[in-house]
Chain A
Amino acid sequence: MSVSLLVAVGVLFAAGTVLLLERTLTRVLLGVMLLGNGANLLVLAASRAGAPPIVGVADPERMTDPLPQAMILTAIVITLGMTAFLLALAYRSWLLTGHDEVQDDAEDRRVRELADRDEGSDAEALEAPR
């Protein structure tokens, strides 16, 4: 396991986490991509390095472990799909609102305002003229 790979994983995770905490969806998307690549590198770092895993070309004892590479391929495909979906979400959000910032939930705000005014949701409901 090589230290440089692990350092690269650390940098990718750190940068990805910072971007994930942003409010703009495009930055979140970049964060998700960095995190995904970091995880892929981590899986790669988990495998034994060596000769190409092709029977007849290399001695089986010295072959690299092919299983993590197969898993990374699967993970890459999944990340690709998710990236496409997030891009579509960001575009849709831009079409509808003109920006791609993730807003607070409206109902959350309402419950919080009621609490600030020290009124339960019941009180409000029951006082409404019926």
Chain B
Amino acid sequence: MTWLVPLPVVMPLLGAAATLLMFRRPRVQRAISVSVLTATLVVSAALLVLAAGGPLVVAVGGWPAPLGIVLVADQLATLMLVVSSAVTLCVLLYSIGQGGADGDEEHPLSVYHPTYLILTAGVTNAFLSGDLFNLYVGFEILLAASYVLITLGGTETRIRAGTTYVVVSLLSSVIFLAGIGLIYAATGTLNMAQLVERLDALPDGVRLVLQGMLLLAFGIKAAIFPLSAWLPDSYPTAPAPVTAVFAGLLTKVGVYAIIRTETLLFPGGRVADLLMVAALSTMVVGILGAVAQSDIKRLLSFTLVSHIGYLLFGVGLASRAGLSAAVFYTLHHIVVQTTLLLVAGLVERRGGSTALDRLGGLARTAPVLAVLFLLPALNLAGIPPFSGFLGKLGLIQAGAGEGSALAWLLVAGSAVTSLLTLYALARVWNLAFWRTPATDPAAAPLRSSRLMVTSTAVLVVAGMLFTVAAGPLYALTDTVAADLLARSPYVRAVLP
């Protein structure tokens, strides 16, 4: 069944070509995009089931590893694939609903669908890649698509925000490419399975430089403090569905690359302390930024940065429990963060703005919206019994199990960050939803179509499902973590 492995990359790319050809016929474009992403979701789910029996490996182009480029679908990659394709599908439906509600059904931007599908292909390629250079190409595909999406429409604010985003991303790509050059110079290969042996044989100092280069490149993409300042500046100005999918997926691809390279290529925890300190400062600085904001979208961008710290905490622990909780938290956070930004989009349409000082009384005037906001907000803040709580609990337990002073400091930091997240989101709730509505209603609300509300509701329910299915999911991420630490299942699958 290995022929399934390239499909999550190939199908969106072919879909992008088809939608580009159909640029005059929006209805056909929509049908193609939805069916392609549905098929991607189905294939990803099938791959997740198949990967339980060991990683699936495909040598692209018929050249066997380590000569050819390989795609590797192990359990970590397929878990990420399933969640990310489910999220991209929901956001696509939301944006189709938005186009319908705005009445631009007949004249939408013809580049939206092709670019969105290319973004998906870049994300799936990065997840499946078993080769560092192919990982770089995956990153470039998704970044190139994201440049177009973040400057969609070319208004002044979007050009300004897009410029920051593009320049910072280009810098991280250059660092990644230079790192690849150095790794090739040191080892003579870029196949990750082969790198496992050859990197282990290198002197410690050389390995540390190579590790530092990759961490720097991925750290910018994942928005880890102090490399995170670009994110809250650039994300909020994009259209709501674009911000939502960026916040959900793009930083997580960076986190995925960190998890993959830190466990597979550079095990042993030589930079564990550095990662932990970065995790702590990301959490605290991010959430303090969120507390100071008075715009929902910007506030959510800061909570996004802050919660990347939790993921890094688990990676820094590098124990089975820590990695397992980090993977669980990543999956949970993709869904919840996307949902909250989609809700922010709905709020913007209902109240005419996302500025907290202009909103008010939405709980009375838009009760459905209030429920859609409240559930993922409580989930993100980590109120029991939601999955946000379970993920944080797993991380805190893993930190306590580690027992070092730094780990305890991070445990304390996680608890404080969780409380401050609750405070920041409670402020949104009080100001936008709870207080008495303004007597002079702002501009007439834009209609939100049923499709937009439904697709957001589906994501809210999906976030709840993480809570219901937490037991089996934790069991799964536990085997993922064990495989990551053992390294040998991956290497044996690629180089039999």
Contacts of B233 in A (CB 8 A): 105, 108
Q: Which of A74, A86, A125 contacts B356 (CB 8 A)?
A: A125
A100 to chain B, nearest CB (A): 9
Question: Are A46 and B151 within 8 A (Cβ)?
Answer: no
A92 with B294: CB separation less than 8 A: no
Question: Using Cβ atoms and an 8 Å threshold, which residues of chain A touch B184?
Answer: 43, 46-47, 67-68, 71
Task: Name which residue of chain A comes closest to B295, CB basis.
Answer: A107
Rounded to whole Å, the gap between the CB of A2 and the closest CB of chain B is 12
Q: Which residue of chain A is the closest to B184 with respect to CB atoms?
A: A46
B270 at the interface (CB under 8 A from A): no
Q: Across the interface, which residues of B come within 8 angstroms of A50, CB to CB?
A: none
- With a cutoff of 8 Å between Cβ atoms, the chain B residues found around residue A115 in the complex are 292
A68 / chain B contacts, CB cutoff of 8 Å:
181, 184
B185 contacts A by Cβ under 8 Å: yes
Complex Cα spacing A13 to B236, Å: 32
CA distance A103 to B295 in the complex (A): 20
Contact status B144-A42, CB under 8 Å = no
The B contact surface, by secondary structure, is helix
**Interface flags, B152-177, vs A, CB<8A=1, else 0:** 00111101111110110011011001
Closest A residue, CB atoms, query B185: A46
Label chain A's interface by main secondary structure: helix
Of the residues A1, A85, A120, A130, contact of B439 by C-beta under 8 Å: A130
0/1 string, A110-124, CB within 8 A of B gives 1 = 110011000011101
Q: Closest CB-CB distance, A89 to chain B, in whole Å?
A: 6
Interface residues contributed by chain B, number (CB under 8 Å):
46
Which chain B residue lies CB-closest to A32?
B170
* A36 touching B174, Cβ below 8 Å: yes
Complex interface: chain B residues within 8 A of A42 (CB) = 177-178, 181-182
Contacts of B160 in A (CB 8 A): 93, 102-103, 105
Tell me how far the C-beta of B164 lies from the nearest C-beta in chain A, rounded to whole angstroms: 7
CA distance A28 to B169 in the complex (A): 13
Is A7 close to B, CB under 8 A? no
Interface centre among B164, B174, B357, B435 (most CB of A within 10 A): B174
Which chain A residue shows the least CB distance to B236? A107
Taking the complex as formed, is A128 at the interface, i.e. its CB lies under 8 A from any CB of chain B? yes
Name B residues whose Cβ lies closer than 8 Å to a Cβ of A: 133, 137, 140, 144, 147-148, 151, 154-157, 159-164, 166-167, 170-171, 173-174, 177-178, 180-182, 184-185, 233, 236, 292-295, 298, 356-357, 360, 427, 431, 435-436, 438-439
| A–B pairs, 24, beta carbons within 8 Å | A20-B171, A25-B163, A32-B170, A32-B171, A35-B171, A38-B178, A43-B178, A43-B181, A43-B184, A46-B184, A71-B184, A81-B144, A82-B166, A89-B162, A89-B166, A96-B154, A96-B159, A103-B160, A110-B294, A121-B293, A121-B356, A122-B294, A130-B436, A130-B438
Given A20-B171, A43-B180, A43-B184; 4 other pairs, CB 8 A cutoff: A81-B144, A85-B147, A86-B170, A93-B163
